[in-house]
Amino acid sequence: MPDLLAAFRGPVTCTRAAGVPALTLSGNSAQAPGGETTLAFSAAQLPELPDTLHDAVVEQLDDGQYRIVSAPGEWLISASAAHLHSDVAAEFYRAIPPRPAPRGKRLFWRAVLILSASRFGLAALRALRR
């Protein structure tokens, strides 16, 4: 039974390289939480893939065997490893919102910026620094 490794929504860019990783698929994930997803394969031989796929689905068949299914066709790839990277920044900041700056720190930096707007203020800041 194949295991779903990644599902992409929309266009998927296929990038080939001479080194490792040999093949990288980049696009928007169709799975939660969505966002930019990259799937990299470490493979010795690559199938003839087009430069762009649409709504691609990647399944792991056996150890080292993967199937890429998209509208133009289906490809099998033998890879020693597959690395899935998802951008989770939006989910992270939704769960843990940033902490507001303390009032004292905001007042301090406001004063520094006001002083730095004039020659006299810059001279005063330089004197305080010494």
The pTM assigned to this predicted structure is: 0.67
pLDDT tier, 126 (very low <50, low <70, confident <90, very high otherwise): very high
Q: Tell me, rounded to whole angstroms, the distance of Cα 75 from its chain centroid.
A: 25
pLDDT (0 to 100) of residue 1: 67
78-121 pLDDT, tens digit per residue, is 888 899 998 888 788 888 888 899 999 999 999 999 999 999 99
In angstroms, rounded to a whole number, what is the distance separating the alpha carbons of residues 47 and 76? 7
- The arithmetic mean of pLDDT across residues 36-53, rounded, is 87
